[in-house]
Amino acid sequence: MATLTVTPISPPSVIAFEATSQSGDAYQNDGETLPLVINASASPIIVTRLVQVQPAAPDICVDDTVSCAPGLTVLPSLTPRRFNDSGGLVQLRYPDAQAVNLTIAVLRVPASR
């Protein structure tokens, strides 16, 4: 598993896409990060972001799954409270043998102040 680089968006910015790891990846999340996924295959690929903290019963959170069509998909930001692990990382997973078809860039887009 690799930890992906988060690129802060402040003009000018160069967006660097990284190859994904078959065992999954992770990225720092402050609630203002947006993963950009390029799917080079001809079919959609499901990207899963794992829930780390469950709310009190009877509520439940499920893993966030996004179907990434061929081409570019922007994943929505996530709340750190539910999706960050103890190191402040969001854990990403991909279907078996599909990571070779994906590249990802993670952008930090601060909310306008």
The correct CATH number of 2-108 out of 3.30.70, 2.60.120, 3.40.1440, 3.40.50 is 2.60.120
Interval 22-69: pLDDT, tens: 999 999 999 999 999 999 999 999 999 999 988 888 888 899 999 999
Return the structure tokens found at 84: 């960050």
Q: How far apart are CA 40 and CA 62, in angstroms?
A: 27
- The residue written with tokens 């959170």 in the block is 61
- What does the pLDDT read at residue 57? 81
Question: What is the pTM for the complete model shown?
Answer: 0.85
- Within 10 angstroms of residue 21's Cβ, the number of other Cβ atoms is 16
- What does the pLDDT read at residue 12? 67
Return the structure tokens found at 64: 């966030």
Q: How far apart are CA 22 and CA 96, in angstroms?
A: 7
Pairing between strand 33-39 and 102-108? Answer: antiparallel
- What does the pLDDT read at residue 83? 95
Say which residues have a Cβ less than 8 Å from residue 22's Cβ, sequence separation at least 6.
94, 96, 97, 99, 100
**Percentage with pLDDT > 70 across the chain:** 95
Domain limits, the chain: 2-108
